[in-house]
Amino acid sequence: MYKKIISVIFTFIILTCCLGNTIIKNKEEKIYKNVYIENINMESMTEKQCIDILNEAYPLEDINLKYNSKVWTIHPSDIDFRYKVKEATNKALSYTRTAKKLENLKRKSKLILNERHHIALEATYDKDKLDVIIDCIAQQIDREALSATLAIENDGSFKKLPSKDGKELQKDEIKKEIDDIIKNKNIMDLNLPVKTTIPKLKTEDVESVNSILGQFSTAFNNETSRGSNIHVAGESSSDIIIMPQETYSYNNATGPRVLSKGYKYAPVIVGGKYINGEGGGVCQVSTTIYNAALLAGLEIVEVHNHTYLSHYVSGGRDATVAYGYYDLKFKNPYSHPIYIKNIVGKGSITSKIYGCRDDVQRIYVRTEHEYKKDKIIIKTYRVYLDKENKKIKEELISTNKYDNK
């Protein structure tokens, strides 16, 4: 029975189409029944009627972007935004008017049997033009995070400036949101996604630096080229903030010790012999900082002793350096930043390591000597004390071997 009904319908359609070609040949084309654009039934609509309906249902609207009290408006013409109304209308009109008559009959038969055909109304816009607009807005919003600043004078006074958070427009995120509302034909105001960027050094970080964790001094002859080098190296390795778990490198702080940086020729040890070389004396600066780091409870990562015992510090307490070969490195083990301050005077250098008073510890350094025929072996220990000066723990820092001559 069902097959007979289908056969009758097909026969009717064929006759209708054949007759229709002559009867309505000169009439304006209309969209067939049950052809929808989005959710709108365009049955019997002419091209103009269809276009008018779509333009009314999907008007082109401004896109307002908001941040705080500011509003940026993107007009459709700014990005060549439009709905493909003409294209969708043509698809609806031509759905039953293809070049293949049999295909047209099949489609019409389904539509007559109330099977709907849906056509999507697509949107288009110039993404490059949108990029330019978003970049322009970002320039008005974005600002770099400013770290707090800390400077400690030679007299121990503190100079501090607070940090400032940064702002960064999340450009990819807002472009995706705009793309979504355009494609979904749901134009609305959007809040600009702005990320707060945190500076590396915050106000509370510098506020926590309020006490000396450890300090050490050594003496030198200020009237020599060696003394001049100590001044240069002392300044370049000073006024440095080390954040928690960061590692200080003496070589990174000073850079190469060369004449162009103000260093002079002075005695250095090379291959077990004293010769004149660029930057002689810088090891006294590294040694002074090293001892301050020991007393401050910092984690010693790398340290090397000289070939011979030094005249400016006791055995086992020196730290030789050679750029590109030997370095002095130590890590900040605390949850607060530390600040390295060198004070170079006329004949002495003092290294002070500042930090949070909560991190102050009772520490002293001891050494054990072993004398052999041609070597002196010195073990260096760091000892921690409680408030009653009783030993809590002791750790071996280094085993140092010197030529005995």
Single out the residue of 111, 86, 84, 83 nearest to residue 97, CA to CA: 111
| 132 and 179 inside one domain | yes
Is the domain of 347 the same as that of 254?
yes
Residue 239 lies in a domain: yes
Tell me, what's the pLDDT at 23? 40
Q: What is the pTM of this model?
A: 0.74
Helices (DSSP H) in 26-170: which residue ranges? 47-57, 85-94, 101-112, 127-141
The verdict on 104 and 151 lying in the same domain is: no
Per-residue confidence (pLDDT) for residue 18, from 0 to 100: 42
Among residues 174, 204, 234, the one where a domain terminates is: 204
DSSP 268-334: EEETTEEEEEETTTHHHHHHHHHHHHHHHT-EEEE----SS--SSS-TT-----BTTTB--EEE--S
Residue 358: per-residue pLDDT: 96
> Is 372 inside a domain boundary?
no
Given 204, 222, 237, which residue is the final one in a domain?
204
Domain boundary among 204, 230, 254: 204
Q: Answer yes or no: is 284 within a domain.
A: yes
DSSP 336: S
The answer as to whether 133 is a domain residue is: yes
Q: Are residues 145 and 111 in the same domain?
A: no
Q: Are residues 36 and 178 in the same domain?
A: no
For residue 186, being part of any structural domain is answered with: yes
- 93 and 141 housed in the same domain: no
Same domain, 118 and 155: no
Residues 160 and 302 occupy one common structural domain: no
Confidence at residue 160, expressed as pLDDT on a 0 to 100 scale: 93
Phi, psi at residue 25, to the nearest 5°?
-60, -35
Same domain as 159, residue 100: no
Residue 400 is assigned to a structural domain of this protein:
no
Under DSSP, the state recorded for 199 is: P
Question: Is there a domain that residue 379 lies in?
Answer: no
Tokens of 343: 């004070």
Which residues of the chain register pLDDT less than 50?
Answer: 2, 6, 8, 11, 14-15, 17-26
For residue 383, is it within any domain?
A: no
Q: What pLDDT was estimated at residue 9? A: 52
Query: Based on the structure, what is the number of domains in the chain?
Result: 3
Is 345 in the same domain as 224? yes
CA–CA gap between residue 42 and residue 24 (Å, rounded): 19
92 and 161 inside one domain:
no
Owning domain of residue 102: 2-59+82-123
- Going across the sheet that includes 211-219, the strands are 211-219, 348-355, 338-344, 240-242
Q: Is 44 in the same domain as 107?
A: yes
